[in-house]
Amino acid sequence: MGEKPTSSRPGEFSLIERYFAPLATNAGAVHLQDDAAVFAPDAGCDLVVTKDMLVAGVHFFENDPPFDVAQKALGMNLSDLAAKGAEPKGYLLGLGLSKDISEEWVAEFCRGLKLVQDQFQIDLLGGDTISCPHGPLLSITAFGQVRKGQVVRRNEAVAGAQLYVTGTIGDGALGLKLRLDEGLADKCGLSADERDFLLKRYLLPEPRVAAAQALRDYAVAAMDISDGLIADLGHMCGTSKVRAQVQLDDVPFSGAASAMIAEDTAFFETAITGGDDYEILAAVLPENTAAFEAALQAAGLSCARIGELLAPEASEPAIALSLKGEAYTLHGAGGFTHF
């Protein structure tokens, strides 16, 4: 509202010129010299657009390295695009900085953005930088594209489809547990490597961009798992009007996650209901499962079949879980809700 917070940081335009303009190499961004970006999807393609906001203290820790925060923020959005079968194109960055945030923070943050940009060949297209009382505050809008009609939806799953997840489940949520309780890794008998693996899986999700092609070719529905496997499966079932049968024995866990679960079975539910997986949940028709598995393998990604989708029945729960041949009931809540 016209008041100028003082800061030892360079001003907005200096920061943009020094740190953000070098990230904006797309012609439509005109080196961030305009208030708007201009671009179009390739001919015959639709844009796929996703938006995630992150605030310190909720989505990351205030003392997380900015290099990592940038990678996480961009990775979360690329994960959403990948689940839709989209190839990533670029992104807009909204960045709220409080007075205490240094130029070094911004420099390191941009170094993290650059790393992800180079990895996935995407560009910064534009954005907005603001001053705010409590920062950092991030808002990323990411753009991908698919050929028209090829987007993979969350709400188009059908009865009979087989349920798959990529990678391993629960590492992010268990990494967060380790982060919040310094003695926990020792208590669970984790090696330093196992501990670091889980901490990193929480801090630096790897978006499964390589899965996009297989999803486009073979999945009837897909979504990324960010609120926890069970909650997100619930979203898929709810919007698709199907129910699910999940064999929990088949949910893939990393060695480190398995070690924690072996130590305390409560971590089993942490793993299947906790958030921050950034793996992909996909529904694939039986006739396509072999080709889907082969395509993911060719893309360098592991996957596991964890259950199947069924026609809805009023008398049945939306999600039926089984473990060792018996029905399994969750002890706690089903997953992360944003509020």
Spatial separation of the C-alpha atoms in residues 64 and 338, rounded to whole Å = 21
- Distance CA(18)–CA(186), nearest Å, equals 44
Closest CA to 301 of 215, 208, 225: 208
Per the annotation, does 50 bind a ligand?
A: yes
Burial class (CB in 10 A: 0-12, 13-18, 19+), 331: exposed
List all residues 6 or more positions away from 43 whose beta carbon is below 8 Å from its beta carbon. Answer: none
165 forms beta bridges with 281, 304
Q: Which of 18, 114, 153, 305 binds a second copy (CB under 8 A)?
A: 153
**7 binding a second copy? (CB under 8 A):** yes
Considering only residues 110, 116, 125, 174, which one is a binding residue for a second copy as defined by CB under 8 A? 125
Indicate whether 229 belongs to the interface with a second copy (CB under 8 A). Answer: no
Inter-residue contact 74 to 119 (CB < 8 Å): no
Q: Which residues are paired to 303 by β-bridges? A: 166
Q: Which stretch binds a second copy (CB under 8 A): 45-53, 66-74, 205-213, 277-285?
A: 45-53
250 in a labelled binding site:
no
Q: Does 227 appear as a known binding residue?
A: yes
**Which residues share a beta bridge with 247?**
322
- Rounded to the nearest whole angstrom, what is the least distance from the CB of residue 132 to a second copy in the complex? 5
Q: Which stretch binds a second copy (CB under 8 A): 10-18, 103-111, 285-293, 313-321?
A: 10-18
Beta strand pairing call for 326-328 and 319-323:
antiparallel
65 lines the binding site for a second copy (CB under 8 A)? no
Closer residue to a second copy (CB): 206 or 293: 206
* Residue 323 · residue 245 · CB < 8 Å: no
**Closest-CA residue to 153 (of 227, 242, 71):** 242
Of 71, 117, 141, 166, which one interacts with a second copy (CB under 8 A)?
Answer: 141
Q: Is the dihedral of CA 116, 119, 120, 123 positive or negative?
A: positive
**Interacting residue with a second copy among 74, 110, 176, 281 (CB under 8 A):** 176
Residue carrying the six token digits 């069924």: 310
28 sits near a second copy (criterion: CB under 8 A): yes
Q: Is 283 exposed, middle or buried (0-12, 13-18, 19+ CB in 10 A)?
A: buried
| Residue 189 sits in the site that holds a second copy (CB under 8 A) | no
Identify the residue among 275, 278, 306, 334 touching a second copy (CB under 8 A): 275
Please select the residue that binds a second copy; options are 23, 49, 212, 248, rule is CB under 8 A: 49
Stretch that binds a second copy, among 37-45, 107-115, 157-165, 247-255 (CB under 8 A): 37-45
Closest CA to 270 of 252, 285, 287, 257: 257
3-state secondary structure of 27: helix
Q: Which residues 80-109 are close enough to bind a second copy by CB under 8 A?
A: 80-81, 83-84, 86, 92, 94, 96-97, 99
Q: Tell me: does residue 39 bind a second copy (CB under 8 A).
A: yes
Q: What residues from 236 to 255 belong to the interface with a second copy (CB under 8 A)? A: 239
Site size with a second copy, rule: CB under 8 A: 79
Sole binder of a second copy in the list 20, 24, 26, 48 (CB under 8 A): 48
Nearer to a second copy, 36 or 311 (CB): 36
Q: Which of 21, 107, 115, 132 binds a second copy (CB under 8 A)?
A: 132
Taking CB under 8 A as the binding criterion, the range among 112-120, 150-158, 161-169, 324-332 that sits at the site for a second copy is: 150-158
Pick the closer one to a second copy by CB: 97 or 293. Answer: 97
Could you give the CA distance from residue 117 to residue 115 in angstroms, rounded to a whole number?
Answer: 5
Q: Residue positions in the annotated binding site for ATP?
A: 127-128, 154, 226
